[in-house]
Chains A and B, each alone.
Chain A
Amino acid sequence: MNSEYLTELYSNTKGSSYQCDATNRIIIRFGDITVSLRITDFLTFKRRVDSVDIHTMIFNTDDAYDVEIIDAPRTDQLFVLNLCDLILLRDLLAGTRFALDLNTLLHERIYNAVVY
């Protein structure tokens, strides 16, 4: 990855995210895992992570609810997440999404604005 094309979007204690303008991909680094996702796949991945029922994970004592396994679309990576991981990954993806939306807003209001 050429860092010249990378822009950091968001980071927290467990990971960070970048946009690569050379490949038009979003790169997610979370713990030991790094995935590079197309924007559609990033949004699908975010939806998957957001759809996990955290409430059930907290209150159900069954072992099956201790971890959640989520695959990142079109990659070979599996995210095996305990409750804390899940909350941090959600935060990372939400922050990333916010940075992307903010960039859209800047393009809309500033970069694309006609200057006479």
Chain B
Amino acid sequence: MSTPSSKSPSDLQRLGGIFTKVLLGIAIILFGLEFFIHRHGVVSAEESFMFPALYGFLAFLFIVQVGKWLRLMIMRKEDYYD
């Protein structure tokens, strides 16, 4: 009934590979669309080339990095309050 456990990690890696390719595919399409579609922005900077993409990418990196720093300050052992 259960699949051999040694197969699962490779399945996950394969799935990760497909996911990455799909993401890259959509990203390329979005890059292409940027030449044809006019995006409205609240400020003019938002209308600059691939602005939301850059904002999203950098915001994500920033959030994760700040999270890592926060761990140093506010992470405690599981039984901290017990």
Q: Do A and B bind?
A: no
| Interface set of A (CB-CB < 8 Å, partner B) | none
Partner-A contacts on B (CB < 8 A): none
